[in-house]
Amino acid sequence: MSKKNRERRTGEGGDESTGGGGGMNWLPIVLAVGALGLGFVAWTDIKKVKDDTTKRLVDIDQRLGQLQTQVANAAKAKPAPQQGPDPNKVYTVRTEGSPTKGSPTAPIVIAEFSDFQ
């Protein structure tokens, strides 16, 4: 090979012979790795939130089941006895000598009790 050919061959490489890695730009690779890292962190956070939400929903379902059981038991239980006078019972009230309005022989008498102080 002649001297000119050797010079021409070594001159063709230009910047490649300087050891710069072929002029490769590392910024896109660094950004891609960073984006993958952030994506992984977001994925793990979302998974944790999903697991926490699932646990809370299971707890709510258990509490709801307990409440349904309590309501069903309360419905089966005997109602509390009524306090006070029986609304279905007919009471006789003496009205002789009291101020009245209407016929004293009426079949229905409405007696009003009031307290004026």
pLDDT single digits (tens) 6-20: 677 766 554 444 555
pLDDT digits (tens, 9 = 90+) for 16-33: 445 555 667 899 999 999
Total residue length of the chain: 117
Predicted pLDDT of residue 91:
79
> Mean pLDDT for the chain?
82
Q: What dihedral angle (degrees, nearest 10) is formed by the CA atoms of 96, 99, 104, 109?
A: -90
| 16-25, 77-86, 95-104: least confident range | 16-25
Q: Where are the domains of the chain?
A: 45-74
**Higher per-residue pLDDT: 79 or 46:** 46
Question: For 11-42, what is the HEC assignment?
Answer: HHCHHHHHCCHHHCCCHHHHHHHHHHHHHHHH
Confidence of residue 79 (pLDDT cuts 50, 70, 90): confident
| Residue linked to tokens 């660094």 | 30
Would the pTM count as exceeding 0.85? no
Across 13-17, 21-25, 50-54, 83-87, the highest mean pLDDT is recorded for 50-54
Predicted pLDDT of residue 104:
76
